[in-house]
Amino acid sequence: MSRLVVVSNRVADPRRTAAGGLAVALADVLNSTGGLWFGWSGRIVEAAAGGKPGEGAMHTQQAGPVKLVTVDLCRQDHDEFYVGYSNGVLWPVFHYRLDLADFDAGYIAGYRRVNQLFARKLQPQLRPDDIIWIHDYHLIPLAAELRALGCTNRIGFFLHIPLPPPLILAAIPGHDWLIRALFAYDVVGFQSQADHGHFCRYIETEAHAQNLGDGRWRAFNRTVHAGAFPIGIDVEEFNALVQAPDGRDMYERMQQEYARRKLLIGVDRLDYSKGLPQRMRSFRDLLQRYPETRNSATLIQIASPSREDVSAYTDILHELETLCGSINGNYGELEWMPVRYIHRTVARSRLPGLYRASRVALVTPLRDGMNLVAKEFVASQDPQDPGVLVLSRFAGAAEQLTDALLVNPYDVEGTANAIHLALQMPVEERRARHQGLMANVRDYDVHWWCDSFLECLEKAKAEETGTPWLRL
Ligand code: ADP
Ligand code: F6P
């Protein structure tokens, strides 16, 4: 059997927990298949300590069935590749936020340099029949760099974040270079039908790609398969975590503490794409217009620190803190605080109990590739007395989780009304909606995601005639 080589910027020990959909999903996949996981070590080497652009020490570690191989980055590479281009250009534009993009011409050189560094370090680790699966926006040109070094392995790419419509994508200087790099892959996967549709429209109109049918496209002397492969969660793992001592303990403690009140939960990385200020404004509007919710509804918002070296993230942190402070100041009572805001990552073992004790989950991103929290919440519920999912129509998950209460997070009043509906929803309706949601979460779990993508990669290679890759 071929070995699976997973490549992503962020590499986590699959035996431990992490915040971020990619790390969580890949840890689940690799724990069951074994293989090699390659990426950034998370270490930044200052110039004074010998850090040089385009260079980095390599580290190898065995974590159960998974070999972890990671590379250090020097300060300049980190700042240009990770902060500058990946999170200062690609992340905002791919989340439709042209206003937050910083198109500094210098960043792209660093982005390319780190992709070349990764290719040089990874190539000697590869065996001829390895299947390589590259993840996310940090590493779009990696397959092209590997091909330039002579790599003929099967290579797939999965984009964990949204792909915007062609006209938004075209705002990126060098967008044509970026999309052309995707043709070095055998399979390119997206989270949703909408993202896949944007890709097809872009390559048809901007790159004049030829549609060969069955998801295959021909351009730049290569054939690529493109499709939607919505990512899922490990449902079995969540079932086990709900029943485990930590999960039960958390559930019971929350049940006791909130016996008289209804609990609402939000769990996110603190990112401007998650719509946290809008969510707080909707919650404030709920308290304002539905006085019966005062002293009876409590929102626990867990927002883990994320990318604090990017200025847009410190701005959102301050905005959120101010909003939480003013809601508590204006509506709080001696024995009740409307919002409990926690700026930390919570242990993964405690999340299922917390989800299960909550009557409502608020998953209201302004734009999100998928959003795994929505699926984790559904999987953690008691089917006899389930909570209600309030879900943004702009999350990739909304294409699948149509039994949720779908909202427009920009519409403060409309979202507040939906939260009110969720808090009052009779148990029969909650059960019926949960049944529909759970069927989807179970059918399209992380194993389905992995198997269907890799199956497509397997087939795709058989059709590729080994045409040479034209250098970028
Ligand atoms: P993203 O990939 O943008 O971070 P997702 O919702 O797809 O968003 O994935 C987030 C993952 O990280 C989920 O598995 C979730 O449980 C976990 N996570 C997010 N925030 C926290 C937090 N504050 N504490 C613990 N885990 C978190
Ligand atoms: O899932 C989206 C994602 O951007 C991943 O690529 C990333 O690992 C995760 O969110 C967390 O972000 P970061 O790696 O920048 O901390």
The answer to whether the CB of 25 is under 6 A from ligand 1 is no
The residue whose CA has the least distance to atom 2 of ligand 1 is: 21
The answer to whether the CB of 20 is under 6 A from ligand 2 is yes
Residue 301: nearest ligand to its CA? 1
Q: Report pLDDT for 466.
A: 54
Q: Report pLDDT for 1.
A: 72
- Whether the per-residue pLDDT at 280 is higher than 60: the answer is yes
Torsion angle (degrees, nearest 10) of CA 117, 225, 181, 471: 90
Q: Report pLDDT for 469.
A: 60
Collect all residues with Cβ–Cβ distance below 8 Å to 288 and sequence separation of at least 6.
none
* Catalytic residue flag (residue 160): yes
Cα–Cα distance for residue pair 110/117, rounded to 1 Å: 10
Q: Report pLDDT for 30.
A: 82
Amino acid at 72: D
**Average pLDDT of the residues of the chain:** 94
Percent of the chain past pLDDT 90, that is, above it, reads: 86
CA 87 to chain centre: 13
Give pLDDT tens digits for 341-378: 999 999 989 999 999 999 999 999 999 999 999 999 99
Catalytic residue selected from 78, 138, 160, 434: 160
- Whether the per-residue pLDDT at 139 is higher than 70: the answer is yes
What are the angstrom distances between the C-alpha of 342 and each of 11, 262, 304, 346, 368? 25, 18, 8, 9, 22
Which whole number is the average pLDDT over 67-92? 97
- Whether the per-residue pLDDT at 134 is higher than 80: the answer is yes
Residue 346: nearest ligand to its CA? 1
Q: For the whole prediction, is pTM greater than 0.85?
A: yes
Give pLDDT tens digits for 393-448: 999 999 999 999 999 999 999 999 999 999 999 999 999 999 999 999 999 999 89
* Catalytic residue flag (residue 99): no
- Whether the per-residue pLDDT at 166 is higher than 70: the answer is yes
Q: Report pLDDT for 464.
A: 59
What are the angstrom distances between the C-alpha of 118 and each of 5, 40, 56, 112? 13, 9, 9, 10
Atom from ligand 1 closest to the CA of residue 160? 2
Phi, psi of 115 (to 5 degrees): -65, -35
H or E, element range at 4? strand 4-10
The residue whose CA has the least distance to atom 5 of ligand 2 is: 22
114 close to 83: Cβ distance less than 8 angstroms: no
How many angstroms does the Cα of residue 45 sit away from the middle of ligand 1? 27
Which whole number is the average pLDDT over 4-14? 90
